[in-house]
Amino acid sequence: MKVLFAGSAFDRIKGSFLSLFDGMEVSIARDNEIDEALPWAEVLVTAPRALDEEFLARAVSLKLIQQWGTGIEGIDLKACSKRGITVCNVPSRGTGNAESVAEIALLLMLLLARRFPRAQENLLKIGRVHAPKGIALWKRKACVVGLGGLGQCITERLLCLGMEIVGVNRTVRPEFRAWGIQTVHPLEELEKAVAGADFLVLALPLNEDTANIVDRKILRALGPKGYLVNVARGGLVVREDLEAALDEGEIAGAGLDVFWIEPPDPNDPLLRRSNVVATPHIGGVTDEGLQGVARFIKNNLERFARGEAPLSQVRFPSERGEERS
């Protein structure tokens, strides 16, 4: 079975995972090499990217697309189904991915709450101590949007800090209350859910139902003391509305690990704002995150090679309206 890891990022981190795939016929293609390597591949392991009909037409030997991570928004599932290509992703929780991303969410929240850019300025430029005054996360309220594996990991960690949690999810399930969440709202009640929250934390996938879900109306509901934290996908937020809300003081600030275009422009003025803290989409890039995802993928490829059903398969909705798994 010929396995192609598609993307320059895999070349940079191959020391962290490649030895797990000893015994398999493996190749890594940098971004500018993918087109040439694609006809060879029977299995494509990929980070989030656009895999459309035109791309798949060149993948003449492809049998399996294995997403490195959870996000499959760039994959044309209908085209894959038509071509008989199996698509799988990686569960976030339990692989080190969700656990690592939850830590980045916590980091961004702390940096915002303790006004880290101003603290660095005081330390390095002014030589001032005991300032600026921040806010404690203890006793604060967070609205966590998306209660899948990532949302659960974030919720667990924030509850340990003594925070109050309001949840938002596409479906409202009884077990959410057992996690310690105070109230749970469906997605269409996001404006209601976020009112009075100190932090709005995004942890949901990007799809046609969630694209641009955070607009000016939601940011105004969050209010001038609230912070937006996005560790999911840039496209969940209307960028122009976020900039306007920051300009007008309608929210207190934002913490971003994901962007609308990646990598972001280093000269992007959004990154220069004193009330914005950002990291370069490193949420899942930890030792445990990389190893956990790689181990899951190795096991899945071995199952597929043996003719067994792979795990975490993503299916295109049937004509009967069946939901994606």
Buried b vs exposed e over 89-104: b needs ≥16 C-beta within 10 Å?
Answer: bbbbbebbbbbbbbbb
Residue tagged active-site, from 262, 288, 308, 322: 262
Hey, how many other C-beta atoms are within 10 angstroms of the C-beta on 268? 14
Q: Give yes or no: 262 in active site.
A: yes
Helices (H), the chain: 8-17, 34-37, 53-58, 77-83, 97-113, 116-121, 149-160, 175-178, 190-194, 216-222, 239-247, 287-305
Give strand ranges (E) for 187-288: 199-202, 227-230, 253-256, 276-278
Q: What is the dihedral of CA 85, 91, 95, 96, to 10 degrees?
A: 120
Q: Which residues pair with 75 in a beta bridge?
A: 51
- Closest to 324 in 3D by CA, of 75, 42, 98: 75
Q: Give yes or no: 128 in active site.
A: no
Q: Note whether 6 and 45 are within 8 A (CB).
A: yes
Helices (H), 169-277: 175-178, 190-194, 216-222, 239-247
Token pair listed for 29? 């293609």
Distance from chain centroid for Cα 317: 23
Q: Note whether 17 and 47 are within 8 A (CB).
A: no
Q: Give yes or no: 185 in active site.
A: no
Residues classed as catalytic: 233, 262, 281
